[in-house]
Amino acid sequence: MISLKGLTKRYGDRVAVDDLTLELKPGTVTGFLGPNGAGKSTTMRMILGLDRPTSGTALVGGVPYHEIRYPLRTVGALLDARAVHPGRSCRAHLLALARGNGITRSRVEEVLETVGLAGVAGRRAGVLSLGMSQRLGIAAALLGDPDVLMFDEPVNGLDPDGVRWVRDLMRSLAEQGRTVFVSSHLMSEMQLTADHLVVIGKGRLIMDAPLAAVIAQSSLTAVVVRSPHAGDLSVRLRAAGIGVERVGENAIVATGAGIERIGDLAYEAGVRLHELSTREASLEQAYQELTASSVEYGVQRASV
């Protein structure tokens, strides 16, 4: 488990992370989302003791990272796939990490096999492609068989098969009861991977909720209704404060209420239904609504 309480980081007058309080639970893939400069990487670095908080605490398994005797056995992390001595082979890099954490050589060979690098284990890290470097970084994170895993943009540089492999890996780690914390800008991939989302902007928490709840709050999530009495139902829904748009003689789209509420109102009005279904927003659409006021490095759309 990862617990953050009042976590804050200032660089002079700039607040990178602002009073962040979270609890990331085992058995869950928690996606970490936010615009560039939102404070995601800084938060991860403070959890790992690489940056010192200005105030607040970050605990892994109930203790600060620097107090963990064999850190790789408790938390595995991939923050920068290129942060490897370029002259070391893949195997040598992992062996060096293993020796410092009381991990066996056989475990090194096991994780090389797991990430698909067994055939190039003797190759120097400095000549690896970005995708292969990501796999090496994931191998290092898995090395100590930890209960907590953190990944910052783990699918960068991977081909479609590699992206799917990472997705399946994250899901399997969570199913084993581990805490998995992963940041990404790929919304479509996060929608397929995460159970829970933490969204921040300008260092502040915007939302901490299950994936389904994040999508459901979007104004683009709606209920589609088809009925031979669509006009009568529209009047009833509007009277209940629900937004209604007629999209055909016998069809409406309702916003501002869930499918259960719409169904109950139709039943109370004695309206016969031919369709009652949810039209969900995508995670990308929901995310853009949530973070619209938090984008610090936006660009203007080109006119054509």
Domain ranges of the chain: 2-216, 222-279
Tell me if 222 sits within 8 A of 207, measured CB to CB: no
- Predicted confidence at residue 244, as pLDDT, reads 93
- Predicted confidence at residue 202, as pLDDT, reads 92
Residues of the chain short of pLDDT 70, as ranges, are: 296-304
- Predicted confidence at residue 296, as pLDDT, reads 65
**Which CATH superfamily hosts domain 2-216?**
P-loop containing nucleotide triphosphate hydrolases (3.40.50.300)
Alpha carbon 192 to its chain centroid, in Å, reads: 10
- Predicted confidence at residue 219, as pLDDT, reads 79
Neighbouring C-alpha atoms within 13 Å toward the C-beta of 76: 25
CATH number of 222-279: 3.30.70
- Predicted confidence at residue 303, as pLDDT, reads 45
- Predicted confidence at residue 281, as pLDDT, reads 87
**CA-wise closest residue to 100 among 133, 67, 143:** 143
- Predicted confidence at residue 299, as pLDDT, reads 52
* Buried b / exposed e along 259-274 (16+ C-beta atoms within 10 A): eeebeebbeeeebebe
Tell me if 198 sits within 8 A of 2, measured CB to CB: no
Neighbouring C-alpha atoms within 13 Å toward the C-beta of 10: 8
Tell me if 169 sits within 8 A of 134, measured CB to CB: no
Whole-angstrom Cα distance, residue 34 to residue 25?
20
- Predicted confidence at residue 300, as pLDDT, reads 53
- Predicted confidence at residue 257, as pLDDT, reads 85
- Predicted confidence at residue 267, as pLDDT, reads 95
